[in-house]
Structure 1
Amino acid sequence: MSYCNYIINNPSENSDYLLHKHYHDNQYGFPIDNDDELFGRLLLEINQAGLSWTLMLRKQESFRAAYSNFSIEKVAQYDDGDRERLLQDPGIIRNRLKINAAIINAQKILELKKEFGSFKKWLDANHPLTKAEWVKLFKKTFKFTGGEIVNEFLMSTGYLPGAHDDDCPVFLKLASNR
């Protein structure tokens, strides 16, 4: 079942459904112009690997707090003390590889910003690529970015198609804004 069908055909008042509905209706597939928010989405996608997206949606605000409001500049400066703080934070995924990837990826984004002006401009400069080309580029550029992580990050930010079914009201809304 597609994400859109789940949202449209299974309405519920439970908190997990409402988290997914809000994400589907207001974030998934929507372009993000702010570099820190793009970084935050990439960080969440990396941390979701092997886990559920529901968990990421539940922990999104804890991640935001733990990672300095997703500030690329601040996360790029994190040291061993910050790594230990994150490893002890029950509000996030406490995986050393994922924490290190966040810090290294923030540092890499700072390098990209020097060359391209922003993370978004780097993404725009490489758009459109095929999924395979994006995956190759991300693996060369960033840490902990396999095919599914790259695919979901790019679909969720509007760089790859497929976030919404063609008959989904959100798909129609996004299509009319292009």
Structure 2
Amino acid sequence: MNYCDFANALPHDTADPNKHYHDREYGFPIDDDNALFGRLLLEINQAGLSWTLMLKKQAAFQTAYSGFDIAAVAAYGEADIARLLADAGIVRNRLKINAAIYNAREILRLQAEHGSFKNWLDTHHPLDKAGWVKLFKKHFKFVGGEIVNEFLMSTGYLKGAHHEGCPVFAEVMAHRPKWAEAV
């Protein structure tokens, strides 16, 4: 069963967060840099765990990581790392926490060069998955092929978030910018 079949089989009044995510977020473009950073942070933390767990912990992650404010996370020091390692509401993995801080600092650098993280992503579009993975590994920590693929599919940079028979597919396609047609 693919993700669309799974999510579409859930009742509309379900408490399962996958339904809302599938119908309203997955594959839709994100214009806000902090929201893009938040999605990347969740994708990194999902490694080895379930996406459902990430969706259930999303609010806790957002609180723990200063509302996904890139500049705030980039300024984190040892006290913040200790605080995050003690926060039972998130994934307490030192490698993932250090990656979030490093990646926030790298995004600040990319923002300074390109005006925004989104502009940096747009500048490199279109790339295939292998090209994106190579680019991400050059700039970020804790980003393997699956993390990069899911991040880019979930934000509309790569196809595959929804199959063509999914009721959400046409809506996602309608929200994609014209440059995304090549994807």
Q: Fold conserved (TM > 0.5)?
A: yes
SS at match of 2:168: helix
Distance 2:171 2:12 in 1: 23
When the two structures are superposed, what TM-score results if normalisation uses the length of structure 1?
Answer: 0.96
Distance 2:86 2:141 in 1: 22
- Report the counterpart of residue 181 of structure 2 in structure 1: none
Q: Percent identity?
A: 66
- Report the counterpart of residue 2 of structure 1 in structure 2: 2
Give how far 1:12 is off.
7.0
Which letter maps to 2:96? K
Which letter maps to 1:6? F
**Pairs aligned (count):** 176
Change (3 A) 1:173 1:14: closer
- Report the counterpart of residue 159 of structure 1 in structure 2: 157
Matches within 5 A, 1:21-36: 21-36=19-34
Distance 1:103 1:54 in 2: 24
Gapped runs of 5+ residues in structure 1? Answer: none
- Report the counterpart of residue 123 of structure 1 in structure 2: 121
- Report the counterpart of residue 142 of structure 2 in structure 1: 144
Give how far 1:2 is off.
1.1
Distance 1:32 1:175 in 2: 13
Give how far 1:7 is off.
1.6
Distance 1:102 1:42 in 2: 9
Work out whether residues 29 and 175 of structure 2, in 8 Å CA contact, stay in contact via their aligned partners in 1: no
SS at match of 1:169: coil
When the two structures are superposed, what TM-score results if normalisation uses the length of structure 2?
Answer: 0.93
Matches within 5 A, 1:50-89: 50-89=48-87
Gapped runs of 5+ residues in structure 2? Answer: 177-183
- Report the counterpart of residue 109 of structure 1 in structure 2: 107
Distance 2:120 2:51 in 1: 26
Does residue 1:48 correspond to 2:24, yes or no?
Answer: no
Give how far 1:117 is off.
0.4
Runs of 4+ aligned structure 1 residues displaced above 4 Å come to none
The alignment yields a C-alpha RMSD, in angstroms, of 1.1
Distance 2:58 2:170 in 1: 27
Which letter maps to 2:44? I
Work out whether residues 28 and 175 of structure 2, in 8 Å CA contact, stay in contact via their aligned partners in 1: no
Work out whether residues 12 and 19 of structure 2, in 8 Å CA contact, stay in contact via their aligned partners in 1: no
